[in-house]
Structure 1
């Protein structure tokens, strides 16, 4: 990992990355079917009764009502056509993906421990020569690199420029970088972050950020962005 201070890259030991395992749970359901055997109904012998004839007298109106043709039931209203099942010729609509810029609030902070490493002695010495605001920018940029690396493992950031796309500001003692940029694998991406440090600027105590979109190559020159330090 390289920490950029002014234009001088300082190599630090790479921070360990967390690995997440995926646990898959399978549920097997069994249904039991019962077969019901129906045997013939065997009634006890019954005595045979002589047939009888029932005669019912009815009026002409009753006879007409009895023999009148039944009316057909009203036709049901046509139902809406069912949606066609997805197929190769009729694919399902794509599922909308969440935007990449959700705000992430850090619960752990890393810049202080990185600067305390023996390999960071030159960086620590150089930061002591800076005034408070410049030291805050450098400390927060180091924090931003490690926070991005841990939260979004698809990136491999090596440099953060807090003022690349817009000016920085301070609010309630915190650095507000709404136009930052970070470099990952020789490409640049937008980042916004808010960062507060301890009084002696030795470590970060509050940090939140959101990652924006890819910065096109034709904008690099305008914002002094390069693919690698060796290009400068």
Structure 2
């Protein structure tokens, strides 16, 4: 069987031609829209969104305090540097280098009034247990401490030993101490004094003394001297 193609045109009704034209037009526009979507603009990077910013709300007073200029602290005063000690200076206290004083004859006496104070009740009771010569020594030593304190304010005596450097002598209510020593601010100094007590050893009636030299530390042990009572 043979089939023959006929080249003669095929007549299409007008209504069919109008429908095909509409279909072709719609198809063309759909292809064109697809090309636009897939065109070069798709390769461009999308712009990044700006980063989020934290915002802190503050009052007008807080803002003023934050923006106010910083206060500069006033300069601190400093002491000037100390001058270097001269080669001739030493650790000896000024009182230790003082020149021995002359003899001081007392015109006022203090041991009796000191012993009469309420704070001295225990000392008064203890002195009544001593014999005459020992009581005389204690009474005159108390007087010596107060006389030195008042006549020589550069010292602050707290103890007197009437026989520290040499033997003392007692006779008829009188005490002669040519080798005494007194302690002031943990240092020792020579002292000579003579003392005459009342008959009942309740007070001093006559007293004179003179301060001697500073006693070096290397002589303390020999004379049983200590810096303080707690060191004994």
Task: Map Cα deviations across residues 92-117 of structure 1 (whole Å, 9 max, x no partner).
Answer: xxxxxx95231000000000000000
Tell me what 2:164 maps to.
164
CA RMSD of aligned residues (A): 1.2
Separation in structure 1 between the aligned mates of residue 172 and residue 101 of structure 2, nearest angstrom = 24
Separation in structure 2 between the aligned mates of residue 167 and residue 225 of structure 1, nearest angstrom = 15
Tell me what 2:80 maps to.
none
Tell me what 1:115 maps to.
115
Separation in structure 2 between the aligned mates of residue 207 and residue 147 of structure 1, nearest angstrom = 9
2:116 is the alignment partner of 1:137: no
Task: Map Cα deviations across residues 60-108 of structure 1 (whole Å, 9 max, x no partner).
Answer: xxxxxxxxxxxxxxxxxxxxxxxxxxxxxxxxxxxxxx95231000000
What SS does the corresponding residue of 2:166 show, helix, strand or coil?
Answer: coil
Larger radius of gyration between Structure 1 and Structure 2: 2
Tell me what 1:73 maps to.
none
Separation in structure 2 between the aligned mates of residue 230 and residue 173 of structure 1, nearest angstrom = 33
Separation in structure 2 between the aligned mates of residue 177 and residue 101 of structure 1, nearest angstrom = 16
Tell me what 2:27 maps to.
none
Tell me what 2:223 maps to.
223
2:173, 2:196 within 8 Å by CA — same for their partners in 1?
Answer: yes
Tell me what 2:41 maps to.
none
What SS does the corresponding residue of 1:137 show, helix, strand or coil?
Answer: helix
Separation in structure 2 between the aligned mates of residue 114 and residue 202 of structure 1, nearest angstrom = 10
Separation in structure 1 between the aligned mates of residue 129 and residue 172 of structure 2, nearest angstrom = 24
State the 1:174 CA deviation. 1.1
Tell me what 1:148 maps to.
148
Tell me what 1:214 maps to.
214
State the 1:170 CA deviation. 2.2
Counterparts of residues 20-169 of structure 1 (less than 5 Å): 99-169=99-169
How many residues end up aligned between the 2 structures? 135
State the 1:173 CA deviation. 3.3
Tell me what 2:194 maps to.
194
What SS does the corresponding residue of 2:160 show, helix, strand or coil?
Answer: strand
State the 1:172 CA deviation. 5.0
What SS does the corresponding residue of 1:142 show, helix, strand or coil?
Answer: helix
Separation in structure 2 between the aligned mates of residue 118 and residue 210 of structure 1, nearest angstrom = 31
What SS does the corresponding residue of 1:148 show, helix, strand or coil?
Answer: helix
Runs of at least 4 residues off by over 3 Å:
none
Structure 2 gaps, min length 5: 1-97
TM-score, with structure 2 as normaliser: 0.57
TM-score, with structure 1 as normaliser: 0.57
Task: Map Cα deviations across residues 25-55 of structure 1 (whole Å, 9 max, x no partner).
Answer: xxxxxxxxxxxxxxxxxxxxxxxxxxxxxxx
Structure 1 gaps, min length 5: 1-97
